[in-house]
């Protein structure tokens, strides 16, 4: 086939529906010639993911819950069986109890802290470990992060702490896997209204705030994150690893934000 991603095969984890960031990346990959595989988390998402896979011509690997290592093992075994090797993996997975994505961070419970770190941080390392032996011609691993890792954002709380750990872990992974020409990067996306985002307190306000304060005066779309994802997943970024790219309408560079937005 033709295109930036021609001849590349990869796994995309985290499609819940057609508003998922993972779907935006999946669409961009397929449009540029990649062959992709998708996982879904449990039966509830199966009926959403299957028609999207059909539309994208994607291989549905099956159920994967990143807290169950046996399901992760099964996914990579199935990919080895089907393709022998892979070129890329997208990890667009995070979770925290919605009751703790509001109010004060200091109230975080130990149980939810550990669960949030397990699903949102450790899972990327667990994925990298299993992808490594299948990336025999080198490869690209991509995860999704948020500015709440760098600066305190209202309501983001334990998820901000998890994203900071995710960004640190990608640097360690970049060093561990670099000798095999496996690159590890992240996109720090601006706020987008997805299923996961709907759990965050005052999310509509956060969207408006970003619209008002970002250099581009708007929020970003999953298509835009998808197109930026192509850079990391293709050979265009072959000299880049350990990087976090902000796809956020430039919001992160603005030091003096407005006191209030007139239309909020």
Stretch that binds ligand NAD, among 75-83, 100-108, 144-152, 238-246 (CB under 6 A): 144-152
Per-residue x/- track, 2-41, ligand NAD (CB under 6 A): ------------xxx---xxx------------------x
Judged by CB under 6 A, the residue of 191, 224, 228, 249 near ligand NAD is 191
Residue 160 in the binding site for ligand NAD (CB under 6 A) = no
Q: What is the 3-state secondary structure (H, E, C) of the chain?
A: CCCCCCCCEEEEECCCCCCCHHHHHHHHHHHCCCEEEEEECHHHHHHHHHHHHHHHCCEEEEECCCCCHHHHHHHHHHHHHHHCCCCEEEECCCCCCHHHCCCCHHHCCHHHHHHHHHHHHHHHHHHHHHHHHHCECEEEEEEEECHHHCCCCCCCHHHHHHHHHHHHHHHHHHHHHHCCCEEEEEEEECCCCCCCHHHCCCHHHHHHHHHHHCCCCCCCCHHHHHHHHHHHHCHHHCCCCCCEEEECCCHHHCCCCCCCCCCC
Based on the residue annotation, tell me whether 156 is a catalytic residue of this protein: yes
Among 59, 60, 67, 102, binds ligand NAD (CB under 6 A): 67
Nearer to ligand NAD, 32 or 163 (CB): 163
**Nearer to ligand NAD by C-beta: 199 or 235?**
199
Residues with catalytic annotation? 146, 156
Residues that bind ligand NAD (CB under 6 A): 14-16, 20-22, 41, 45, 64-67, 92-95, 119, 144-146, 189, 191-192, 194-197
């Amino acid at each position: 086939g033709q295109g930036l991603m021609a001849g590349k095969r990869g796994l995309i984890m985290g499609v819940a529906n057609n508003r998922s960031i993972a779907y935006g990346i999946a669409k961009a990959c397929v449009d540029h010639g990649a062959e992709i595989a998708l996982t879904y988390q449990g039966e509830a998402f199966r009926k959403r993911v299957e028609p999207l896979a059909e539309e994208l011509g994607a291989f549905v690997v099956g159920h994967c819950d990143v807290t169950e290592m046996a399901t992760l093992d099964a996914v990579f075994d199935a990919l080895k069986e089907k393709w022998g090797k892979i070129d890329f993996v997208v990890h667009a997975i995070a979770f925290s109890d919605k009751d703790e994505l509001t109010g004060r961070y200091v109230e975080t419970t130990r149980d939810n802290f550990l669960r949030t770190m397990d699903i949102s941080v450790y899972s990327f390392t667990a994925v990298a470990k299993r992808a490594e032996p299948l990336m025999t011609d080198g490869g690209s691993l991509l995860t999704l992060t948020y500015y709440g890792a760098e600066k305190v954002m209202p309501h983001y709380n334990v998820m901000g702490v998890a994203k900071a750990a995710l960004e640190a872990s990608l640097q360690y992974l970049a060093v561990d896997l670099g000798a095999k020409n496996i690159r590890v990067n992240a996109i720090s996306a601006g706020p987008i209204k997805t299923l996961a985002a709907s759990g965050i307190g005052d999310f509509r306000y956060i969207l408006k705030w970003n619209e008002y304060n970002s250099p581009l005066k708007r929020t970003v779309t999953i298509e835009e994150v998808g197109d930026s994802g192509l850079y990391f997943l293709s050979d265009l970024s072959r000299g880049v690893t350990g990087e976090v790219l902000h796809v956020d309408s430039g919001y992160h560079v603005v030091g003096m934000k407005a006191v209030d937005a007139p239309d909020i």
